[in-house]
Chains A and B, each alone.
Chain A
Amino acid sequence: MSDDEASKRPGVLATVFAPAKGLLEEVGTLADLAFHAVLWGARPPYRVSLVVTQMEFVGVQSIFLVGLVGLFTGMVFAVQTVYGFRRFGAENMVGGVVALTLSREMAPVLTAIMVAARAGSGMAAELGNMRSSEQIDALETMAVNPVQYLVVPRILAGIVMVPVLALVFFLIGIGGSWAIGVWGMSLDPGIFADRIKTMLVPADLTQGLIKALVFGFTVTLIACRHGYYASGGAVGVGQATTRAVVWSVVAVFLIDYVITSMLTTV
Chain B
Amino acid sequence: MLDSTDAHVVVEGLVKRYGDRTILHGLDMTIGRAETLVVIGGSGAGKSTLVRHLIALERPTAGRIVIDGTDIASLSDVQLAKARRRFGMVFQKYALFDSMSVFDNVAFPLREQTKLSERDIREKAMTKLKELGVDHAASLMPSQISGGMAKRVGIARALVMEPELLIYDEPTSGLDPVTSRTVDALIEEMRERFGVTSVVITHDMVSAFDIADRIAMLIKGRVVALGSPAEVLAVDNADVQGFISSSGVDVKRFEHRGNRKTAAELAARARERKAGRAE
| Interface band, chain B | 20 to 34
Tell me how many residues of A have a C-beta within 8 Å of chain B. Answer: 13
B101 to chain A, nearest CB (A): 15
**CB of A260 closer than 8 Å to a CB of B:** no
- Bound together, the chains give a CA A138 to CA B100 distance in angstroms of 14
Q: Given A129-B98, A143-B112, A144-B112, verify A138-B91 contact (CB < 8 Å).
A: yes
Mark B204-236 against chain A: 1 for CB-CB distance below 8 A, else 0. 000000000000000000000000000000000
**Which residues from chain B contact A145 at a C-beta distance below 8 Å?**
77, 81
**Which residues from chain A contact B96 at a C-beta distance below 8 Å?**
135
Mark A105-130 against chain B: 1 for CB-CB distance below 8 A, else 0. 00000000000000000000000011
- Bound together, the chains give a CA A143 to CA B84 distance in angstroms of 5
**CB of A142 closer than 8 Å to a CB of B:** yes
CB <8 Å contact, B109 and A142: yes
Nearest A-chain residue to B112, judged by Cβ: A144
**Which residues from chain B contact A135 at a C-beta distance below 8 Å?**
95-98
**CB of B246 closer than 8 Å to a CB of A:** no
- Bound together, the chains give a CA A59 to CA B26 distance in angstroms of 51
Q: Given A134-B91, A134-B92, verify A141-B98 contact (CB < 8 Å).
A: no
CB <8 Å contact, B84 and A141: yes
**CB of A137 closer than 8 Å to a CB of B:** yes
Nearest B-chain residue to A134, judged by Cβ: B95
**CB of A140 closer than 8 Å to a CB of B:** yes
**CB of B85 closer than 8 Å to a CB of A:** yes
Q: Given A141-B89, A143-B84, A145-B81, verify A133-B95 contact (CB < 8 Å).
A: yes
| Nearest 5 interchain pairs by C-beta | A138-B95, A134-B95, A143-B84, A141-B89, A143-B81
Interface residue ranges, B against A (CB under 8 Å)? 52, 55, 57, 77, 81-82, 84-85, 87-89, 91-98, 108-109, 112-113, 161
Interface residue ranges, A against B (CB under 8 Å)? 129-130, 133-135, 137-138, 140-145
